[in-house]
Structure 1
């Protein structure tokens, strides 16, 4: 199975870099702030540069592939399933249930998605439509619900300005604009002496992201709140098992995808929960441990199910 072998090699590359980050944290190389520095630098500088460099040279029609519909509806259905299960069994308050739904549907398109798209799928641009979809649709809706359920009011200014505080989205949109202009004019409008340093900085994003994630694993003690364990396990199952199954059904039977496109849709659906969910939980001070444990459990188990997808589909 060459596809499975390729996926395992990709995970090996990713795992080694994560392990380097873990060892660095354990040996206290870089001090206690090393993880924060790597995260912030990759978030604000390297990753936006990477997405701009990739998307600006990607054909505009390839960026917004019809597979975006699979990503959207599989996420929506999984979030709806969690809300139904919460109503029947968990009985969480509305704000906590919102965090649970986000934990179930929100893809880690940056910290894990970029490396997997790069080393397993061979095309980092595949995560761009997902990133835009999440920041333009899911985030504003979730923030609106959290505003209403925690404060009883809606701050439209904060909700509408949210995309302006997402460097990845800004970098991606900038690359998309350049790609559209290139398609219109027939030539790449960014001179090499500007593009090359942007690309060079962007190439540092993936290793920094992975090492920072490895550092975050040192000293972690998950699942301390036993009352949240059933909901946390449910979130991981929905995210890592149910969502890829839904993505496969939509891709194969509704959209008619086959081959590499089908494989990419299902692998991306099996990505773990995005760390943004914890940021939103912290901002509104709801479901903090639930969000953290769901992200961690989903992240640790995701490679197993992506490997299974590779064995079955690649």
Structure 2
């Protein structure tokens, strides 16, 4: 019970930071470009530093834990389900459908996943496989599709160059490389006078993303676009209900996980959609309200389903 209360406190902290962003926008602090600047800084500077800082200290065995297969295939499954439902019912255009897929499968592994892994699961390193999976696989694919669909063209050269345009992926891979070299040489290869500034910049990523998200709420009404409501509700159900069920089935029957590992797989699958999805939507100026409302709904409902999972499996 104490761990569950601590996790709910984590949700409260996140909500307060989002509210600060909303108030700042309402009071016009930072001017009309504040949200745009925060999104750009977090996407290109702070978030890559955060990924590097987290992964550089992780052991490769934790980063590539077998639970990554559960996270990958459960996320892939809900993404495919959304595409099928979109083809049958929603008929969203390709960029918006891509945002819908990311809304369905992208886990908030940083600002919600880390406190939940710490307070409920007792091991913050459990989110490392999710970080790697999302930044090395789903993010490059999603942003490649957004590149192609917003620019109206795609080529092999564009796809091959895509990783060079993904600061988050670059930060992730550099962090893994440093982790590997640290283990090989037996000491930290990056000196503190270089590592500390990276850590300081990385620490600003989550607040900037959350405040930018809060700023996006000012002057708009959630779920105002009636045509998107069915799709928004669908992505929230896929994210908070269907994905944990698939994760349980894969973890229990396919991977043979039991006890804490099984519990961790299901709880982490119930994390809400990451604010990064809104960051990507803002980067390409597509599906902004869809991304925002999907994140908001899944974030509000996620604690309920995590509490249910904790009550059943813990």
TM tier relative to shorter chain: 0.7 to 0.9
- Change in Cα spacing, 1:126 to 1:45, as seen in structure 2 (3 Å) is farther
Match of 2:245 in 1: 245
Residue range with higher mean Cα deviation, 171-180 or 299-308: 299-308
CA contact (8 A) 1:131 1:169 kept: no
Match of 2:270 in 1: 270
Residue range with higher mean Cα deviation, 128-137 or 165-174: 128-137
After TM superposition, give the deviation of residue 238 of structure 1 in Å: 0.7
After TM superposition, give the deviation of residue 236 of structure 1 in Å: 1.3
Match of 2:100 in 1: 100
- Change in Cα spacing, 1:96 to 1:188, as seen in structure 2 (3 Å) is closer
- 1:284, 1:211 → 2: CA distance? 19
CA contact (8 A) 1:48 1:202 kept: yes
- 1:203, 1:267 → 2: CA distance? 25
CA contact (8 A) 1:49 1:201 kept: yes
- 1:285, 1:34 → 2: CA distance? 16
Give unpaired runs (5+ residues) of structure 2: none
- SS of 1:245's equivalent in the other structure is helix
CA contact (8 A) 1:99 1:277 kept: yes
Match of 2:129 in 1: 129
1:41 correspondence with 2:49: no
CA contact (8 A) 1:107 1:269 kept: yes
- 2:27, 2:282 → 1: CA distance? 29
Q: How does 1:97-246 map to 2 (within 5 A)?
A: 97-110=97-110, 112-113=112-113, 125-142=125-142, 153-246=153-246
After TM superposition, give the deviation of residue 239 of structure 1 in Å: 1.3
CA contact (8 A) 1:236 1:297 kept: yes
CA RMSD of aligned residues (A): 3.2
- 2:24, 2:42 → 1: CA distance? 17
- Change in Cα spacing, 1:151 to 1:45, as seen in structure 2 (3 Å) is closer
Match of 2:297 in 1: 297
Q: TM-score, normalised by structure 2?
A: 0.82
- Change in Cα spacing, 1:143 to 1:277, as seen in structure 2 (3 Å) is same
CA contact (8 A) 2:96 2:287 kept: yes
CA offsets 1:227-284 (integer angstroms, 9 cap, x no match): 3322221121111211122112222332233444334322332233345555666787
CA contact (8 A) 2:40 2:283 kept: no
Residue range with higher mean Cα deviation, 259-268 or 181-190: 259-268
- Change in Cα spacing, 1:99 to 1:26, as seen in structure 2 (3 Å) is closer
How many residue pairs get aligned? The number is 314
CA contact (8 A) 2:277 2:291 kept: yes
CA offsets 1:7-49 (integer angstroms, 9 cap, x no match): 1222222223333333333333333333333333333333322
